[in-house]
Amino acid sequence: MTRFIIAGLLAGTAASAATAQAPAAAAAQQTLPTRAAVQRTLDAQFKAIDGNGDGGLSAAEIAAAEGKIVQQRIATLRAQAEAQFARLDTNKDGQLSKAEFLAAVPGPGAAATPDGNAALAQLDKNKDGKVTADEYRAPMLTQFDAADTNHDGTISQTEGQAARRKR
């Protein structure tokens, strides 16, 4: 249950922090958090759970935090369901007819049957009709090598940010 609380609060705190920051900075922080940032988040979460401020979490405080997370998730799911219903209820009568319900489902032929030819053409560099493991890995490894500017086999936060700016 403790992981449930921490994960729930971490998600909420990360979302709040991301909203408050510039989009690029938020994306970088979400993908490459620092230890100090994680510690600040955990400290804020602990303080939020420690209702009486005594520096310790009781079972009641943990239960209250869990209840809050569950209620937030329920509210989010309800809002999503309401939005979906409103989208499907095309005549806005507050009910879904069978026709409205089925209109949301793609019909036959709505999507092309995948055949792999586009990916094969892109990856099969020697045009032998097969993609080898080397051909499969090559595009991503090329991107990785381009981002790893100091060629140490690791993409640092700085290198990652620079690569994102180039895209």
Give the C-alpha distances (Å, rounded to integers) separating 90 from 87, 98, 123: 7, 12, 43
pLDDT at 44 over 80: yes
pTM for the whole structure: 0.45
Positive or negative: CA dihedral 138, 142, 143, 144: positive
Assess whether 143 and 83 both reside in one domain. Answer: no
Q: Over 90: is that where the pLDDT of 70 sits?
A: yes
Is pLDDT at 23 greater than 70 in this prediction? no
What pLDDT shows up at residue 4?
47
In a domain, 110, yes or no: no
Q: Are 29 and 37 in contact (CB under 8 A)?
A: yes
Q: What is the mean pLDDT of residues 106-114?
A: 70
> In the predicted model, what is the mean pLDDT of the chain?
81
Number of separate domains in the chain:
2
User: Which structural domain range is residue 33 located in?
Assistant: 2-102
Are 10 and 49 in the same domain? yes
User: Does any domain span residue 108?
Assistant: no
Instruction: Indicate if 61 and 94 belong to the same structural domain.
Output: yes
Alpha-carbon distance of 61 to 123, in angstroms, equals: 55
Same domain, 70 and 29: yes
Percentage of the chain exceeding pLDDT 70: 78
Assess if residue 16 is contained within a domain.
yes
Please check whether residue 73 lies inside any domain of the structure. Answer: yes
Same domain, 88 and 23: yes
Place of tokens 């209820």: 89
User: 5: how many CB neighbours lie within 10 A of its CB?
Assistant: 20
The model's pLDDT over 134-167, given as tens digits with 9 standing for 90+, comes to 899 888 899 889 999 998 888 888 998 998 898 8
